A and B are shown apart, each in its own frame.
Chain A
Amino acid sequence: MKKKVLSVILALCIACGVLSLAGCGGNADRVTLNVYNWGEYIDLSVLPEFEKETGIKVNYTTYASNEEMYAKVSSGAASYDVVIPSDYMIAKLIEEDMLAELDFSNIPNYQYIGEDYRGLQYDPENKFSVPYSWGTTVIMYNKTVVDPADVADKSVDLMWNEKYKDQILMFDNPRDAFALALSKLGYSFNSTNPDEWEQAAELLRQQKPLVQSYVMDQIFDKMEAGEAAIAAYYAGDALIIQEENPDVDYFIPKEGANMFVDAMCVMKNTQHKAEAEAFINFMLKTDVAVKTAEVIGYATPHTAAKAELDPEITGNPVVYPDAAILENTEVFLNLTPEIGKLQSELWTDIKKD
């Protein structure tokens, strides 16, 4: 008898457990904001500061690529309030009507955003996004391993140099990987000519035996520990890596590089638009923007924050490239569906062979 009573109680407990799982998130008096950002892309200490200041709880999660972010937000499986994707992905989200139009009266700190970063191609009317940081892709190398003669011309060819077989780290995402190959061929990163993409794929296939591994955030460990000698990655991260390992140096390849702007956006299906805008405004407070820029290493579009940063950083021509170098960079645009599909197929082929 006792056993039976016990089993009924157990069953009820399990049932309650299931029900409470289904009903979770019902905490009404405290708003939770779901913020979805790139990995290693924030000073985490500012989040509790925001929570203390506003009483809004932040559920902070990260992704490793724009595509991963897109897969999550478009599946509808999880709902996010604030996302911080890159330019071409923002264009895609706008096109698919997934972003909310921002109410800039809730974001007075927008005044600090430099003129150069307003009304950019991906959001020409400046309605959906607030720039968070910007930068270019760079090639970094370990000075103790790489012969100075091989980097003298600052060419992307370094990524294909057979001398450094098994010492090269390559982007584990197709957009950046293809951009590298397209720049070597002298084609646009936004090429609409399938033939040019095929040629780029051929180059990437040739490169595969030379590549030690395809990585994203693992690059920090590997370059800092001297595990690899050459890697293509983003400027800000190169700066952070150099701090840990002074043997690492970097350059913007002469063939050109990708210039990107990552910007804060609010998802259209958010339940907490005002709170999301408060978060964006908070991230634009000068002291917060300074912290962000110092930790992530990328260039800031925030004029007041830039003025407060160490001149050694703001004077670094790779982090804040001058107009002549920027002239030679290209911003990613949203690819046409056909090219997007082709890119995906080519990349899968390269990876699986």
Chain B
Amino acid sequence: MNRKSLTKTLVTTPYTIWMIIFVVVPIALVVYYALTDADGHFTTENIFAIVDYGKTFAVSLELALISTAICLLLAYPLAYTISRMHTRRQSTMIMLVMLPMWMNFLIRTYAWMTILENNGLINRFVRMLGGEGFRMINTNGAVVLGMVYNFLPYMILPIYTVLTKIEQSTIEAAQDLGANRVQVFRRILFPMSVPGIISGVTMVFVPAVSTFVISKLLGGGKTFLIGDIIENYFLGNTGTVNYNIGASLSLVLMLLILISMAIMNHFDKDESAGGML
């Protein structure tokens, strides 16, 4: 073994061990529990049992998709604006985007509870101005808001990273060749930023579809998401612990996420191929 490969092994070994212990083994356990019953015998019953949770899956997917779409719409213009700023200001702006993430996720979500409640900050302000006040907390809208707020930075950062690599001269070249603003966006900027969009969408969609804290705090336990059900089965909050159903729900959720990622990557290939032409 020469020195180069020795270094390489030394560098990669801890990572490999880490991955095996914390990624491969847990996934294997999930698969094991999903395909066995309480006594450890093989069964496909748990997988079929998820039919009962179809509606919950649908609600979770719907809310996660809405949040991802809103994140994308908010993040793209912002990421673009930041990427065209002076380098110095860029780092300030990016720091501001990340600033909320220095605080604990749970505390930030609790804070939203206080803001949105019927006697919360917003409603008190509205009433002070003579308004009626309206219901925000414990609705699906509040859950979506919580998701968008918590996961927005994960959308901004990858898109910004991609956009900032696009040279201003590329855009100028397009303009020289007669492209108007819409054409520059459609033919140049957008295709070149697709990889960033894809990682952003993945990084928002995955935690959004599996969250359970946000729905519990902002949805009042009435918007029951698939993450809530999984949590309940593992923590036994419904009275009985059932790793098997919990694992099979997790497995199906993972498969759903994998499928959506595969679809997204498909887009990526199409777009970059289109961009090359």
Contacts and interface: CB of A to CB of B under 8 A. Distances in A.
Interface stretch (B13-21, B197-205, B265-273): B13-21
Interface string A154-185: 00000000000010000011110000000000
Contact of A67 (B11, B135, B236): B236
Interface string B103-121: 0000000000110011110
Contact of B11 (A11, A175, A343): A11
Contact of A11 (B14, B53, B217, B239): B14
Contacts of B17: 18
Given A10-B11, A227-B119, A344 B238 contact: yes
A210 to B, nearest CB: 11
Contacts of B240: 340-341, 343-344
A8 B118 contact: no
A344 B239 contact: yes
A307 interface: no
Contact of A4 (B3, B18, B118, B135): B3
Interface string B230-271: 001011111111100000000000000000000000000000
A190 B17 CA distance: 49
B277 interface: no
Interface string B92-130: 000000000000000000000110011110000000000
B209 interface: no
A227 B220 contact: no
Interface string A219-256: 00110011100000000000000000000000000000
Contacts of B242: 344
Interface string A1-38: 00010011011101100100000000000000000000
A71 interface: yes
Chain B CB within 10 Å, residue with most, of A218, A335, A348: A348
Contacts of A98: none
B229 interface: yes
A212 B220 contact: yes
Contact of B229 (A15, A65, A75, A348): A348
A4 B7 contact: yes
A335 B239 CA distance: 10
A68 interface: yes
B13 A68 contact: no
Contacts of A222: 117
Nearest to A16: B14
Contacts of B56: 352
B234 A71 contact: yes
Contacts of B239: 67, 174-175, 335, 340, 343-344, 347
A121 interface: no
B193 interface: no
B94 to A, nearest CB: 26
Band of interface residues on B:
35 or more
Given A67-B237, A70-B241, A166-B135, A213 B222 contact: yes
B138 interface: yes
Contacts of A68: 235-237
Contact of B221 (A75, A172, A343, A345): A172
Interface string A320-353: 0000000000000001000011011101100111
A340 B239 CA distance: 7
A14 B18 CA distance: 10
A227 B121 CA distance: 12
A208 B220 CA distance: 11
A233 to B, nearest CB: 15
Contacts of A187: none
A11 B10 contact: yes
Nearest to B17: A18
Interface string B22-53: 00000000000000000000000000000001
B139 to A, nearest CB: 11
A211 interface: yes
A339 to B, nearest CB: 9
A68 B188 CA distance: 53
Interface in B123-177: 135, 137-138
Contacts of B117: 222, 225, 227
A353 B7 CA distance: 56
Interface of B: 3, 7, 10-11, 13-15, 17-18, 53, 55-56, 113-114, 117-120, 135, 137-138, 217, 219-222, 224, 228-229, 232, 234-242
22 contacts: A7-B11, A11-B7, A11-B13, A15-B13, A15-B14, A18-B17, A18-B18, A67-B239, A68-B237, A212-B138, A213-B138, A213-B219, A213-B220, A214-B220, A218-B113, A218-B217, A227-B119, A344-B239, A344-B242, A345-B238, A347-B239, A352-B224
Interface of A: 4, 7-8, 10-12, 14-15, 18, 65, 67-68, 70-72, 74-75, 166, 172-175, 208, 211-215, 218, 221-222, 225-227, 335, 340-341, 343-345, 347-348, 351-353
Given A11-B11, A227-B119, 20 more contacts: A7-B11, A10-B11, A18-B14, A65-B237, A67-B236, A68-B235, A172-B221, A174-B238, A174-B239, A213-B221, A214-B220, A221-B113, A227-B117, A340-B240, A343-B240, A347-B239, A348-B229, A351-B228, A351-B232, A352-B55
